[in-house]
Structure 1
């Protein structure tokens, strides 16, 4: 297993994600512990030592199942990461209650890597609200040694990421002034020591991951890559994608192309894969047995593959349209969301769209067509906004997803 120095720890480049574990009879809250144990054993044997879970995964059962499996190994032989669910829409937020529950469920006394889960447009105000004291609480847990490294994950857009990085830098300055000893525990000039983002060759442009990576590298913050296969949607290429790579003689699978592409990004310290069976563990570990980054020509070829996977409209985000919109709709954001939806529906879309103010959503377009008249790409913007609004109506809202997750958490507590 190729390894990286990740905040002073020697960490395997491939990480074990516990979001898509094997389950019994299709019940996401009923994890197949025996099969999970076999997968964890194979992961250890191949050199994986970074294991990532989160409070809501598998109906709040992932932490417990993974903790039980890891308990068979010495605590200093693995790095465990989990997350605080401040991204969920709740009536109140109590980080202490959740954190203590997580330690108990995982059966550990500390977490090596702890993340604020999905700092995005819908949750940044929760994480930065002094009323809840979320960041301050976890800074204190780091001081106490119960968290070794504090970071965050994000599915937000680049401006959202920039805003939270700025917040973390300000918190660091405050910490230096009032508690220099605790401040010295943080690597860099930010209380957020690392960041986990959705990163793959498609989202490099589709979700502007290239901008996020550049921003994080400039800030000196290492990256954990999630969704390297876009939830499995980059696994099966069709003729259009195969035709792009037909001149290549390596016979690499789409999975291998995805993982090799990530090896080109030096600031990516861990690539998380949500593996669901033993075969996937063996296969994925094989791709990380030795370094084999892509050549410049191969990277360009994969960028061409990404273009074949995209649909939608050719918006360049010139923003000429926004000045003419009487509803103040952020049209480039809506068109980017529309394009993302053409590839696959995902919870990020609902989450981001729920954060848009009422009156400025796709459904609020009044069809005045001022935007279309000025669009250099000749996009029929009102028509696209209408299609987007219709698609969003068929998707569960982020608020509804959060309600379901909270119900799952209650059931999990009752089982325990």
Structure 2
């Protein structure tokens, strides 16, 4: 395992474990996390030297599972990252207290203001929560304070200037670097001394599985490496990065990532050029850039499995019109035609996806 010095104070594994996608007991929204499977994965992570574990108040059930799974290990052998989500519970004191309870701990090592976006920056940056969290830092209940960002590059400097942040978490991968805001955010951070944590390195799995013709182009160069490994290796030479978070939900994914991070092996110039070519061909095939984070599912009145529906939408658009039959396999009452168009999903989507519009389009496609 590779490690990175963090502010000259702690050593962090360059591969961190995200818990947003822990295995669940079924595919329906709200299905409980499978503790036995999750514990096996976390045990493997600990045994392999991963010492950074990321969770959040809104990752349903993950705080409790992570706390239980790590309880048998010395508290100083790992670092916990958790987040304050103002949209889920504006009472920051109550939310933080509940997070400690769920995790079964007396401190959180890396604490973030969660999912900062343009439409509520004023709401959170002017609140007294920053002062409260700073006081917890002085007491040792929080060790490092940062934020995760899903806003625009235009508003990013304002957030950076709002506080003396210890770290920042951004969505960073080669797709978002080439076609999104990732490059602008990273280059802004290069002008600071703030370490960077990476979320969505394989963009919710989009960069782990591609159409066969595109995968073949990568496999022809590196036949023994996974498609996901290209995305991980693309990140390796980014000097600002401290930890790359991966939401590993199988032992196979864990083993693959561990192999990648066992050595420093960034992409060569030729491999980077190939990735750019492949990505340019891949871009038109991704109709909806959903990362599968499931934030949209929690408040859906109809409990629609929105990421699953959007995946079906993308499959239909990938010249697989027959996939429209997959919509009929969804539970009754939880299909596109059941969408109320209330917009709660769009409110919580970090990517700003207009989910109701895609639901309406699918309804029309089914009629054709």
- Distance of aligned partners of 1:346 and 1:396 in 2 relative to their CA distance in 1, 3 Å threshold: farther
Matching of residue 230 in structure 1 with residue 203 in structure 2: yes
Select 2:270's aligned residue among 275, 291, 297.
297
The answer to whether the 8 A contact 1:120-1:161 is kept is: no
Select 2:242's aligned residue among 269, 279, 282.
269
After superposition, where does 1:206-355 map in structure 2 within 5 Å? 206-242=179-215, 244-245=217-218, 248-249=221-222, 251-311=224-284, 342-345=287-290
Per the alignment, residue 79 of structure 2 pairs with 79
Take 2:36 and 2:212, find their aligned partners in 1: how far apart are those partners? 39
Take 1:287 and 1:123, find their aligned partners in 2: how far apart are those partners? 38
The answer to whether the 8 A contact 1:157-1:207 is kept is: no
The answer to whether the 8 A contact 2:137-2:143 is kept is: yes
The answer to whether the 8 A contact 2:172-2:200 is kept is: yes
Q: Which has the larger radius of gyration?
A: 1
The answer to whether the 8 A contact 2:204-2:290 is kept is: no
Per the alignment, residue 315 of structure 1 pairs with none
Take 1:345 and 1:106, find their aligned partners in 2: how far apart are those partners? 29
Report deviation, 1:282.
1.8
Per the alignment, residue 3 of structure 1 pairs with 3
Per the alignment, residue 69 of structure 2 pairs with 69
CA shift digits 1:97-127 (9 cap, x unpaired) = 1111111110111111000001111221221
- Distance of aligned partners of 1:123 and 1:228 in 2 relative to their CA distance in 1, 3 Å threshold: same
Take 1:396 and 1:78, find their aligned partners in 2: how far apart are those partners? 39
Aligned-residue RMSD, C-alpha: 2.5
Per the alignment, residue 108 of structure 2 pairs with 111
- Distance of aligned partners of 1:32 and 1:208 in 2 relative to their CA distance in 1, 3 Å threshold: same
The answer to whether the 8 A contact 2:229-2:256 is kept is: no
Take 1:288 and 1:108, find their aligned partners in 2: how far apart are those partners? 29
- Distance of aligned partners of 1:303 and 1:290 in 2 relative to their CA distance in 1, 3 Å threshold: same
Matching of residue 165 in structure 1 with residue 151 in structure 2: no
- TM-score between both structures, scaled by the size of structure 1: 0.68
CA shift digits 1:138-178 (9 cap, x unpaired) = 1111011101000000111211222201222xxxxxxxxxx
Q: Find the residue that maps to 1:248 and give its secondary structure.
A: coil
Report deviation, 1:396.
4.2
Which ranges of structure 1 fall in alignment gaps of 5 or more residues? 169-189, 313-340, 352-392, 403-416
Take 2:222 and 2:204, find their aligned partners in 1: how far apart are those partners? 27
CA shift digits 1:365-404 (9 cap, x unpaired) = xxxxxxxxxxxxxxxxxxxxxxxxxxxx9794447659xx
CA shift digits 1:168-195 (9 cap, x unpaired) = 2xxxxxxxxxxxxxxxxxxxxx2x1111
The answer to whether the 8 A contact 1:347-1:398 is kept is: no
CA shift digits 1:210-246 (9 cap, x unpaired) = 1111111211111111101111111112245246547
Which ranges of structure 2 fall in alignment gaps of 5 or more residues? 297-339, 350-368
The answer to whether the 8 A contact 1:19-1:57 is kept is: yes
Take 1:258 and 1:116, find their aligned partners in 2: how far apart are those partners? 26
Select 1:102's aligned residue among 88, 99, 102.
99
The answer to whether the 8 A contact 2:25-2:32 is kept is: yes
Take 2:194 and 2:169, find their aligned partners in 1: how far apart are those partners? 10
Q: Find the residue that maps to 1:293 and give its secondary structure.
A: coil
Take 1:216 and 1:102, find their aligned partners in 2: how far apart are those partners? 29
